[in-house]
Amino acid sequence: MSKYTDYNFQPFLRDAIEKLGFTEPTQIQKEMIPLIQKGKSAIGQSHTGTGKTHSFLIPIVERIRQDKEEVQTVIAVPTRELAQQIFGELAKLIEGSNIQTKLFIGGTDKQRSIDKLKTQPQIVVGTPGRLRDLVNEQALLVHTAQVLVVDEADLAFDMGFIEDIDQFASQMGDNLEMYVFSATVPESLQPFLRKYMASPVHVQMNDKRPVAENLDFYLVPTRSQSKNEKLLEVIKSINPYLSIIFVNTRKQADYVANFLANNGVKAGRIHGDLTPRDRKRMMKQIRELEFQYIVATDLAARGIDIPGISHVINYELPQDLEFFIHRVGRTARAGNKGQAITIFEPSEEDAIARIEKMDISFVMKDIKNNELVDMKDRHTRQKRDGAKKEDDIDRIAKSKVRKPKKVKPGYKRNMRWEMDKIKKKERRKRARSRTKN
């Protein structure tokens, strides 16, 4: 299928896709949608930014039996942030239908989650630990589910969540269809895949989203400052021909534009609540270079051609990280150079890591004397801290496994096995602690 109008989707889904502005499916969507429609288990290997989220959401929504009030699809996602993003996209697709969905993530009240399950949703999105708990409490009834999606499977494995997924997957039907999405498919993931997937189709995307060659990606941490303070510093450090500052909501666009105005920076604004007349006047002002800065939302900026943008500033990361490529693509056009500056907080480290999977290479920068200056790569400390943590885990394992008083053949191998079990348990425990999953 070359266009979304070629698919024979239900009317409400066709309307939702049109409202999202999707016209042509991406390559992974062309490959995965027919497979999921036919019920053929598959592994989708692709990086973020290729449209993989909608490659499974669209056909799953199409297949839901609205007359059956039971769990039909479970979508397991390793982080709360990503689960919330996927749930948000799902909500847009089911508008105009009677499909019931629920989101269950760690860090929320478990009893409240249980109370929500008096009526079983048809599609469930959640983090592995919380889904496992709800299944074990017999609150979430997954035995009726026909489809299981595991997104970011390599990350789920690294964080120790595959065992959680295994626990509730084993309670699903014998004819379970599984769709696994992962940037990489490590050998260590194979036993889990073989357990649930008999001869799956392996869809591997080798194509990469084009990023302009003349575009520099800068990452500016807030450190001890607010995003507002850091934004003002960034603005003082650059002298753009025209810069677009991206935020996620209309309310935030007005807030940031007003904040800048109160600090002597005149900024235009583009968002969905502008009347056609105001929008036309704003575009005229922008083209006549009345503004050096524009504050905009993703939805409003799509499809609008604003020439001459030399800088893109991400005040907030997009809720759907696949929009990152769309944002930065506003600059470095027609052979011109451009800068994409992303202001980020420590809590957004997971999202930054996923953006890097799009083959985006960030240079760390900070502001000194109103200039962008280089910082040490943020991974340097992470690697050092990771090595220290691994040494700490080794010490814990060694302290718990002692050489037996009476040694028998193979005792060293048995000791190694015991130590490996303790290490795995300790890593998993720490991963849970980090994510509060």
pLDDT tens-digit readout, 24-38: 998 999 999 999 999
The CATH number for 253's domain is 3.40.50.300
Q: Ramachandran region of residue 227, left (φ > 0), alpha (ψ -120 to 50) or beta?
A: alpha
Q: Are residues 346 and 398 in the same domain?
A: no
Contacts of 362 (CB under 8 A, 6+ apart): 217, 218, 219, 342, 352, 356
Buried b (16+ CB within 10 A) or exposed e, 398-431: eeebeeeeeeeeeeeeebeeebeebbeebbbeeb
Q: What is the mean pLDDT of the chain?
A: 86
pLDDT at 302: 53
For residue 209, tell me if it sits in a domain: no
Q: Are residues 150 and 190 in the same domain?
A: yes
CB 178 within 8 A of CB 206: no
Contacts of 39 (CB under 8 A, 6+ apart): 146, 177
Q: Ramachandran region of residue 78, left (φ > 0), alpha (ψ -120 to 50) or beta?
A: alpha
For residue 49, tell me if it sits in a domain: yes
Q: Are residues 370 and 404 in the same domain?
A: no
For the chain, what is the largest distance between any 2 Cα atoms, rounded to a whole number of angstroms? 88
Q: Are residues 195 and 282 in the same domain?
A: no
Q: pLDDT higher for 298 or 20?
A: 20
Residue 368, exposed/middle/buried by CB under 10 A (0-12, 13-18, 19+)?
A: exposed
Q: Are residues 22 and 136 in the same domain?
A: yes
Query: Does the structure show a pLDDT above 60 at 291?
Result: yes
Which pLDDT band holds residue 134 (cuts at 50, 70, 90)?
very high
Q: Are residues 325 and 391 in the same domain?
A: no
For residue 302, tell me if it sits in a domain: yes
Q: Which of 348, 375, 402 is the last residue of a domain?
A: 375
Residue with structure tokens 């065992």? 163
Q: Are residues 45 and 93 in the same domain?
A: yes
Query: Does the structure show a pLDDT above 60 at 301?
Result: no
Stretch 214-227: mean pLDDT, rounded?
93
CB 122 within 8 A of CB 70: yes
DSSP 331: S
Phi, psi of 35 (to 5 degrees): -65, -45
Query: Does the structure show a pLDDT above 70 at 387?
Result: no
% pLDDT > 70, the chain: 89
Stretch 4-8: mean pLDDT, rounded?
93
pLDDT at 427: 74
Determine the Cα–Cα distance for residues 164 and 238; give it in Å rounded to an integer.
48
CB 185 within 8 A of CB 306: no
Determine the Cα–Cα distance for residues 216 and 311; give it in Å rounded to an integer.
10
Q: Are residues 114 and 225 in the same domain?
A: no
Q: Are residues 24 and 92 in the same domain?
A: yes
For residue 435, tell me if it sits in a domain: no
For residue 210, tell me if it sits in a domain: no
Q: Are residues 109 and 224 in the same domain?
A: no
Q: Which of 336, 355, 375 is the last residue of a domain?
A: 375
Query: Does the structure show a pLDDT above 50 at 190?
Result: yes
Determine the Cα–Cα distance for residues 241 and 224; give it in Å rounded to an integer.
29
Query: Does the structure show a pLDDT above 60 at 169?
Result: yes
Stretch 182-189: mean pLDDT, rounded?
81
Distances, alpha carbon 387 to alpha carbons 14, 350, 382, 418, 423, in Å = 50, 19, 9, 21, 14
Which pLDDT band holds residue 206 (cuts at 50, 70, 90)?
low
Q: Which of 175, 204, 233 is the last residue of a domain?
A: 204
Domain region containing 176: 4-204
pLDDT at 376: 81
Q: Are residues 111 and 123 in the same domain?
A: yes
Q: Ramachandran region of residue 68, left (φ > 0), alpha (ψ -120 to 50) or beta?
A: beta
In the chain, how many domains are there?
3
Q: Are residues 121 and 19 in the same domain?
A: yes
For residue 434, tell me if it sits in a domain: no
Which pLDDT band holds residue 152 (cuts at 50, 70, 90)?
confident
CB 22 within 8 A of CB 30: no
For residue 87, tell me if it sits in a domain: yes
Lowest mean per-residue pLDDT among 157-161, 332-336, 348-352: 332-336
* Residue spans of alpha helices (H) in 263-377: 276-287, 298-301, 323-328, 349-356
For residue 436, tell me if it sits in a domain: no
pLDDT digits (tens, 9 = 90+) for 305-347: 677 899 999 999 988 787 788 788 888 877 788 999 999 998 8
CB 36 within 8 A of CB 61: no
Query: Does the structure show a pLDDT above 80 at 213?
Result: no
